[in-house]
Amino acid sequence: MAKYKLEGKAVIITGASAGLGEQFAHGFAESGANVVLAARRMELLEKIAKDVSDKHGVTAIPYKTDVAVESDIINLVKHTVEQLGTVDVLVNNAGMYIVKPLIEQTLEDWHTVMDVNLTSAFLATREAAKVMIPKKSGSIVNISSTFGFGGTMFTEVSYYVSKGGLVTMTKALAVELGQYNIRVNAIAPGFFPTAMSIGAMEDKKLRETMIEPRTALPMLAKNEWIRGAACFLASEDAKYITGHTLAVDGGWLAY
């Protein structure tokens, strides 16, 4: 990954105990940023934080956070300011899904997915903005999905809606916060081999009938290929980009 000028920046990453969150941690650290890694699984966070710090020589702080709990998010931002002095970048990466047909989906299922995928991003952005507005600078990167642009064969309606909501929230907050020089963008990943999607990617029939035919490039993704997109959007190289959703999908949305 090309290194971006992020030395000394204070970055919060939610959903950082595995998958793309771990990749974002390494990407920002490689570019010199200090990172606060937030998730529920403290043992995994501590391992990743040590790995990030050892490899890149930055401060990496694990902080146990349930993003579905408002007070946890408030405390996450407060802790970041206490430890790193500010918040320069927020990556709203936490996400989950529940696969059930519509008629089997409960209201609890719906709220569970919305709370983790969408409401948490709203809350974290609200709290980070309280730090960013007075200094008139900051970057928010929301992690949406190609599924935020339409349905597929998977029966996970709340996931589609939550990720589509992130795209729209990105635009709305880009407009609202732009006057403070706070940029809000999103990334829409396609199929990456994380714990959330590896089952689909390893299903030969699904891969050959759905994933590969809609991947324009002649290869499937590697997890580390997501790093550069987030660091770019957070960097000065993207200082005139806001309200945009960048697809990192091998051409999935081109079809």
Residues counted in the chain: 255
Catalytic residue among 4, 63, 97, 159: 159
Which residues, including other chains, have CB under 8 Å from residue 36's CB and lie 6 or more apart? 10, 11, 12, 13, 61, 63, 76, 79, 80, 83, 84
How far apart CA 47 and CA 88 sit, in angstroms, is 24
Assign residue 33 a region (left: φ > 0; alpha: ψ between -120 and 50; beta: otherwise). Answer: beta
Give helix 19-30 / helix 42-56 axis angle, nearest 10°.
30
- Nearest CA among 171, 175, 10 for reference residue 88: 10
Q: Report CA torsion sign: 176, 179, 182, 183.
A: positive
Catalytic annotation on 63? no
Are the CB atoms for 33 and 25 separated by under 8 Å? no
Site of tokens 């941690």: 25
Beta carbons within 8 Å of 42's beta carbon, 6+ residues apart: 62, 64
Cα separation, 252 vs 106, whole angstroms: 30
Catalytic residues: 159
